[in-house]
Amino acid sequence: MDNEKTREELLKEKLFYKKENTFANADETYSKRVSDYAEGYKAFLDNAKTEREAVCESIKMLKNAGYTEYNLGDKIEKGGAYYFNNRGKSLYAFRIGEENPERGIRICAAHIDSPRLDLKQHPLYENEGLAYFKTHYYGGIRKYQWVTIPLALHGVVTLINGENVEITIGENENDPVFCITDLLPHLAKEQVSKPMGSVFTGEGMNLLIGSQPFGKCDEAVKLNVLSILNEKYGISENDFMSAELVALPAGKARDMGLDKSMIHAYGHDDKVCAYPALTSVIDCKDSEHTVMCILADKEEIGSDGVSGMKSSLMVDIINEIAVATGANASVVRANSMCLSADVNAGYDPMFPEVYEKRNSAIMNCGVVMSKYTGSGGKSSTSDASAEYVAYIRRIFQEEGVIWQTAELGKVDAGGGGTVAKYIANQNITTVDLGVPVLSMHAPYEVIAKNDLYETHKAFCAFCK
């Protein structure tokens, strides 16, 4: 047998691009690192289902790593590691490196809000002996996926005296859960013939929360619900007006597949990028660069508002860093680089018709870079430069990061955006990078552990 490669094979090896699968050269050490990292992520995810919870969990990790709380106007020193808690809903962590910040800050920016059902300001009502909460969905959900599954309530009620009452119901084994009911198949003859998008309406997403009356009166079931809430949390119906309560899928992140190679959980988008963004900034404590991790809110609804990426806060903090280190803020931003850390659609063999396979993210083929996002003719994307993508290729090659590039589905099949453009609009070189996800925006999404680990490696290579 002649084992010599043919001329053609050799030339192909030299000239062809070959997508690398993370399992191709995975040894026991690699698998152990992947699974250890995934355990940390699952624990984070279970305690960080909302942006507020994610901020709290992240602050715990930052404090453990020696980061101290910073407020605008506070002193910033070289070598210092700080976090800025923005109203409990978004978070900026940064470490000032030895290098002059005018050489640029390395920024990893992810978002910590996820699609869910927010309660309305007047949520509670009773109908035929059943009590409900009215909801207004948050982010791009496919409504039919959210009915009949067990939902938990998370959030805060701010009382008129300013005190915050935190509420989490439905996560402990003995807690009750809630759900939105659906029609039985026996009576769904007309419903099933309707177009999928029209079966469930926004106003139909009402959460069933009680059925037992309080004594004998009008609206006795509603009264009983309020009486239970009042006893446990000291709140009354008026307090819903100053509350942020959300219904989201109950339960913990679970390993998925017989081989446990994947994770099935609520909120991978975008905690699966927020966690590696945070761990890599924490881990790169010896970096000479100034590094920053941004965990933004409101991405799922357009990044507006004080906790969204369109706010001036990032620029304000960079200005503060510049002033403290005697740097020119415009130069700092012009030389800064950002990885916009967000999930991408994993290629789903169940739905090949919406993907263009050559330019799709394949599960277990590593972290995915998107030079551009947007929709229909690259509309609304910052589209990273060839030079920046080449730089990222170089550092990934040096650090052995397994990665791939992808677009979100076929041209004109739809599309989507991230926080990348809001950061790029501030004159910061930015490209999208993240984890491929199956069933994105569904109550429970799927990711591969190897891809998660490669994402952590990628951010480390960037911050180093």
Q: Site residues (CB under 5 A) for Mn ion?
A: 269-270, 342
CB of 300 to Mn ion, least distance (A): 5
CB of 196 to Mn ion, least distance (A): 20
* Residue 59, SS3 per DSSP: helix
CB of 110 to Mn ion, least distance (A): 8
> Which of 431, 430, 435 shows the shortest CA–CA distance to 457?
435
Contact of 69 with 83, CB cutoff 8 Å: yes
Looking at beta carbons only, is 101 or 346 nearer to Mn ion?
346
What amino acid occupies position 434? G
Looking at beta carbons only, is 102 or 269 nearer to Mn ion?
269
CB of 141 to Mn ion, least distance (A): 10
Looking at beta carbons only, is 322 or 341 nearer to Mn ion?
341
> Which of 16, 450, 53 shows the shortest CA–CA distance to 244?
53
Give how far Cα 203 sits from Cα of 34, 120, 199, 200, 207, Å.
43, 11, 12, 8, 11
CA–CA separation, 37 and 56 (whole Å) = 20
Looking at beta carbons only, is 53 or 269 nearer to Mn ion?
269
Looking at beta carbons only, is 209 or 339 nearer to Mn ion?
339
CB of 434 to Mn ion, least distance (A): 8
CA–CA separation, 337 and 329 (whole Å) = 14
Q: Which residue is nearest to Mn ion (CB)?
A: 270
CB of 440 to Mn ion, least distance (A): 7
CA–CA separation, 290 and 296 (whole Å) = 19
What amino acid occupies position 283? D
Which stretch of DSSP H or E encloses residue 283?
A: helix 268-283
Looking at beta carbons only, is 170 or 416 nearer to Mn ion?
416
248 conformational bin, left if phi > 0, alpha if psi -120 to 50, beta if neither: beta
CB of 411 to Mn ion, least distance (A): 20
Looking at beta carbons only, is 108 or 243 nearer to Mn ion?
108
Helices first, then strands: H and E counts in the chain: 11, 22
Report residue 379 CA to chain centroid gap: 23
